[in-house]
Amino acid sequence: MITFTRLAALLTLLLPVLAQDQEDASRCSKIPDEINLTPLTDPFTFFNGQRVNSKSDWTCRRAEISQLVQRYQLGQLPTVASSAVKATYFEESRPKVNVAVTVGDKSISFNVTIVPATEPGKDSSPAIISFGVNTIPTLTGVANILFNNDEIAAQNSATSSRGVGLFYDLYGKDHSAGSLIAWAWGIGRVIDALEKLPEAKIDTKHLGVTGCSRNGKGVLIAGAFEPRIALTIPQEGGAGGPSCWRISDYLARKGINTQTAHQIITENTWHSPAFEPYVNQVGILPFDQHLVTALIAPRALYVPENNIDWLGPESAWGCQRAARTVWEALGVEDRIGFDQTAGHNHCQFPESEVEGLTAFVDRFLRGKKVKTDGYFKTEAEYPDYSDKFWRNWRVPTLR
């Protein structure tokens, strides 16, 4: 039995020890007030934990990311033999191309319209394929091809559009693909057709793709999954485009009115139904939009952005900074541009971004020797943003 006297003596012995522990603890580093338990996924580590150490490793990592994104977010992208695509060139008020695709016993066809280049080349001109209407400035020497992406896969609502469109006429209304990956499939068939039609006078080795807002989301996916696109220009795409799910969720929790994964599936059919179980727990996904963007590397990407809360401008900035590390590792950091300008309406291309756009088009579509570094910037200030908070990887030099 411990008496009061013995207890007092014991405390007398322990107090110096406790005081010493407190003194030692004061010299130790403190845990940060805010800890990010779901940082952006490392581009340079395979799913099995092995590191990406070479450019050939990146090719395999890219293939792995593509499979993961299709499985958990976008749905499967079908392959099509070139022989399954028939192409016809004809002229009405403007030149047009009819694209006919046969899969099994089913066939579909659609037209794209060509707006010829001003000052075209002798044999062919580079071209930019526009989702819906063209929202970027017309550039000398570059044709414009108008692609009706809504015809391939509808995007009217989350309930009425699922399984509607020519893509689903071929593959069935229950196909896993959301409209974004279906549009990428459609762009592939347009390129198949153009490759068969020299009379269309389109240089298929120098093709760009662009679109704004919801179509900007589709443009990023088309660039990621169609390797024949030389320059991808997703304009103000927001969530499901240049912005990262994890960062957008973080901004929403801070009270910023930003589109998030759990909202986007209630708006439209852009993503596969397979994405729905993850929209409230995006941190467990083995990728985010920075890795979707990185599927484009080492090809060229120019992202014209706006400072509108719903688009998640801080998310787009951080997400594309993370994606840029892949171009950096490949030694081609000047092939990715990001230009975030405030003070203009949604999808209104500002004069301040024309210089960057022109430089990227001149270099990657028109073949001019111009510099494209220095076009990764924002007019906004994000004092709370930190690369270290979202990125826990080192950037290798891949050879």
Catalytic residues: 213, 346
Q: Put residue 22 in one of left, alpha, beta given phi > 0 → left and psi -120 to 50 → alpha.
A: alpha
Cβ atoms within 10 Å, residue 70:
18
Radius of gyration of the chain, Cα coordinates, nearest whole angstrom: 25
Q: Round to the nearest angstrom and report the end-to-end CA distance of the chain.
A: 73
Cβ atoms within 10 Å, residue 395:
13
Q: Put residue 306 in one of left, alpha, beta given phi > 0 → left and psi -120 to 50 → alpha.
A: beta
Distances (CA, A) of 246 to 61, 171, 183, 369, 386: 21, 32, 25, 38, 14
Q: Where are the alpha helices (DSSP H) in 162-267?
A: 166-171, 179-195, 214-225, 245-253, 261-267
Distances (CA, A) of 361 to 53, 54, 88, 119, 184: 31, 29, 28, 15, 21
The answer to whether the CB of 318 falls within 8 A of the CB of 376 is no
The answer to whether the CB of 35 falls within 8 A of the CB of 41 is no
Residues 6+ apart with CB under 8 A from 294: 43, 62, 65, 323, 326
